[in-house]
Every structure is written in C-alpha cells, then in structure tokens.
C-alpha cells in the first residue's frame, strides 16, 4: 500500500487537474461576460424521458442570475399523455428555470448530466442573447411537439444555428450510416429497460414507416440530445481575429449517474424474433395431432389477436395521428385489421372449415407478397425483424388448414 503522503499528493493532483474544467462549466457571474452552455441529460426511466434531454443555460452579461432554457416542459393536466404523445398532440412549452431545478430532476432519477461551455464570437453571443430574450418575452411559449423534428434538442440546435448564422448547419451536412429508426430504437430498446424496452422497441419498430429508414445527416441526427452533444464538438467558428476555434470550449460531467447514455447502435432483435416465429409455427404444426388440436386453435387465435391488434393500432396512428414517420407501412402485408379474420378458427362444421381455409389462405398470400416485395427491395423500409416473428406461423396456419 502506498504511503499516506503519496496518496495525499495524488488526491491533490487530481483535484488540481479537475478544478479548471469544473470551473469552466460553472455559470458566469452577472458582471462577467455572457456565457452560453448546453446541458445534456442522459435518458431517464420512462418513455417520455427515454431519449434524454437538452437545455441551454445563459449567464453573465448583466443577467441577475443564470437561466436554463428548457423546451421539454409539458402540462400533465392535458390528460391522456401517452395517447397525445404517440399521436403528436402533446403540447410542450419553453420554461426558464434555475440550474438547481435541472440538477434536482437529474439527481432524482440518477441521470448523467454533461455541460458544454460554448465559445461564441462576440457578435454570435449577442445574437444568441437577443434570441433568448425574444423567446422568453413571447406571450405563448407553447409548441406542437414532434419527437423527430421539433423537440427540446432541435430547439437548442436551431437557436444556436441562428446565432452562428447557419455555421452549424453548414458543417453538419455529412450523411451518416444511421437512420431515424436506428436512433429511436437504440433508445427505446435499451437494455436498461428490460421487458419494457422490448415492448417499446416492438411498438416503434411496427409503427415507424419508410420515412424513418433513410440515412440522415449529422444535422438531422441532432433531434437526439446525445447526438447534439456529439456533433457540437465537431463545429468550428471563425473569430474576428482571423482564428478558427472549436465551438465547444470546455466539457465536463456535472453529475455521473447510474443512468448514462445508451449504446450507439440499436439492439439486434432478429435472432430472438426468428426463434419466436419458428416456435409459434411449431405450436400450430403440433396442433395437427388429433389430441393436440386445441393447441392449434389457441396458437392461431392468439396470432389473430396479436396481428389484428397491431394492424388496428398502426391504422389508427395513420388515420388520426399527426407524427411524421408513423402510420401506414409495409407491415400491413402481415398485420392489418383484416388479421382479425384469423379468429374464424373458432368456427364449426364444413362452412366453418371453408371459411377458415379461405381466410388463412388470403392472409398468408398477403404476407408472402410482403416478403417478396421486401426481397425485391421494393419498400425502402426495415421489415425483416417483424417478418421473422409473424410470417412463419401465419404461413404454417394456412398450410395446415389447406391440408385438411
């Protein structure tokens, strides 16, 4: 074990090395020059906080106290929050709060918080503070929340881009090897959520349409808070003295919680879903034995309920939702409101047999059309994970009925 003086010296060295970074991330005093800092909070424990959070802190420049601009506030009295959220009818608003409020929220859920102090040229800092004042002086600070296009993260991105006269957008045009679907699924399907993550992942995998499967630019990726944090590190700005400096002057962790940022890639559910599909098909096939006929009826009835519920939900999202990228999609070939017809397995007699055979045959044919379209690359939409789970039992159910 090292002697006590050595340990003490090491601790003093660590404290000395970390103090400047921590001080750089602190708010400025009222008499100090204006300072802007982006505050990024890691994802929380529910669907409303699964993507993390971005906010903008302004201080100094004659302001009596630091303010954190938070575009992630909603009124719970709106009612039916989950329905409003998934249909795009949940109103959010801008709220100016003290940093203690932000940190209290993060500590309550033990979420990691990162601060990035921005180095803005004087004219850009002036524009930013004018933008902030204009936003705070609006009578109505509400906005229609759109998770992929207009949220807390894009609001911070956009106000900074206006202050820098488009410099951020100009430098973030690179096309990434990721899609909006990737970004959504890596958050809602994070391992930390366990069974809930599986459910959320499945809901979004089914509901996201072709619009979510195109590669996005670095600018577009900043609808996710940790992407905003990452991309701001790459931006450089021209200064009046002719120099070119990093936008992010300092970065430090304000709180390191047990809930950190999620993996860069979504979880691969294909092996598990393929196992589900094959197992489900095996249950249907096992029901061909006379003594196990009830097993087939249960398996096919459950299939009808699952596919019908999925198809009905995505249809309702398409018909009544307002979110871009949710609704009508290629999964309808497998799961649509017509899938409720599989419940005809409960029918009896010759007419019931013909009806079941026809319903299963039509639904299986539609599923195979979807598979063929996917194989030909006609839909530019990710469908393989869903097809792996749902097509095998559907086709086997049709073949079993046709063989009778």
pLDDT in tens, 179-220: 999 999 999 999 889 999 999 999 889 989 998 999 999 999
- Indicate whether 29 pLDDT > 50: yes
- Indicate whether 325 pLDDT > 50: yes
Which pair of structure tokens corresponds to residue 107?
A: 């500590």
- Across the range 166-170, mean pLDDT stands at 98
Higher pLDDT among residues 350 and 242, named by residue? 242
CB 87 within 8 A of CB 325: no
Give the whole-angstrom CA distance, residue 125 versus residue 164: 8
- Indicate whether 138 pLDDT > 70: yes
Which pair of structure tokens corresponds to residue 325?
A: 């990228």
SS3 content of the chain, % helix, strand, coil (to 5): 55, 15, 25
Going by C-beta distance under 8 Å and a sequence separation of 6 or more, which residues neighbour residue 130? none
Strands of 119-222 (E only): list them: 142-144, 175-179, 215-217
Give start and end residues of each alpha helix (H) in 222-348: 225-232, 270-286, 293-320
Give the whole-angstrom CA distance, residue 1 versus residue 357: 78
Q: For 280-297, what is each residue's pLDDT tens digit?
A: 999 999 888 878 888 888
pLDDT classification of 82: cutoffs 50, 70, 90? confident
Helix (H, G, I), strand (E, B) or coil at 134: helix
- Indicate whether 115 pLDDT > 80: yes
pLDDT classification of 5: cutoffs 50, 70, 90? very low
Helix (H, G, I), strand (E, B) or coil at 180: helix
Share of the chain above pLDDT 90, in %: 62
CB 280 within 8 A of CB 298: no
Q: Which residue has tokens 């409303």?
A: 48
Give the whole-angstrom CA distance, residue 326 versus residue 317: 7
- Indicate whether 231 pLDDT > 70: yes
What pLDDT is recorded for position 351?
64
Give the whole-angstrom CA distance, residue 393 versus residue 391: 6
- Across the range 95-109, mean pLDDT stands at 90
What pLDDT is recorded for position 215?
95
- Indicate whether 176 pLDDT > 90: yes
Give the whole-angstrom CA distance, residue 185 versus residue 28: 38
Radius of gyration of the chain (CA): 27
What pLDDT is recorded for position 68?
96
Averaged pLDDT of the chain: 88
Give the whole-angstrom CA distance, residue 387 versus residue 364: 12
pTM of the model: 0.87
Helix or strand run (H / E) with residue 274? helix 270-286
- Indicate whether 225 pLDDT > 70: yes
């Amino acid at each position: 074990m090292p002697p006590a003086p050595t340990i003490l010296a090491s601790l003093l060295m660590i404290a000395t090395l970390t103090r400047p970074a921590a001080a750089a991330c602190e708010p400025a005093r009222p008499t100090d020059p204006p300072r802007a800092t982006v505050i990024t909070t890691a994802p929380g424990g529910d669907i409303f906080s699964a993507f993390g959070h971005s906010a903008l802190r302004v201080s100094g420049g004659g302001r009596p106290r630091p303010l954190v601009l938070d575009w992630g506030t909603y009124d719970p009295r709106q009612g039916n929050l989950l329905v409003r959220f998934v249909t795009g009818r949940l109103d959010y608003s801008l709220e100016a709060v003290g940093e203690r409020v932000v940190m209290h929220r993060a500590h309550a859920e033990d979420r990691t918080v990162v601060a990035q102090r921005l180095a803005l040229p004087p004219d850009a800092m002036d524009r930013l503070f004018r933008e902030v004042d204009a936003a705070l002086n609006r009578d109505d600070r509400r906005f229609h929340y759109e998770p992929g296009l207009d949220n807390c993260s894009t609001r911070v991105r956009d106000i900074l881009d206006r202050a820098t006269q488009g410099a951020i957008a100009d430098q973030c045009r690179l096309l990434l090897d990721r899609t909006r679907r990737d970004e959504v699924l890596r958050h809602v399907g994070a391992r930390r959520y366990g069974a809930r993550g599986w459910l959320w992942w499945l809901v979004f995998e089914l509901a996201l349409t072709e619009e979510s499967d195109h590669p996005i630019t670095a600018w577009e990726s900043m609808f996710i808070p940790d992407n905003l944090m990452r991309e701001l590190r790459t931006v450089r700005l021209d200064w009046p003295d002719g120099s070119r400096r990093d936008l992010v002057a300092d970065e430090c962790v304000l709180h390191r919680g047990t809930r950190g940022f999620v993996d860069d890639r979504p979880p691969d559910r294909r092996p598990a879903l393929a196992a589900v599909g094959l197992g489900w098909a095996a249950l249907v096939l096992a029901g061909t034995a006379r003594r196990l006929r009830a097993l087939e009826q249960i398996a096919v009835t459950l299939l009808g309920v699952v596919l019908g519920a999925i198809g009905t939900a995505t249809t309702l999202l398409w018909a009544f939702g307002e979110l871009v990228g949710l609704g009508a999609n290629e999964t309808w070939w497998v799961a649509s409101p017509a899938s409720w017809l599989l419940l005809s397995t409960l029918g009896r007699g010759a007419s019931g047999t013909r009806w079941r055979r026809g319903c299963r045959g039509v639904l299986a044919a539609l599923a195979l059309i979807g598979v063929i379209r996917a194989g030909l690359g006609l839909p530019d939409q990710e469908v393989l994970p869903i097809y792996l789970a749902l097509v095998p039992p559907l086709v086997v159910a049709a073949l079993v009925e046709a063989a009778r």
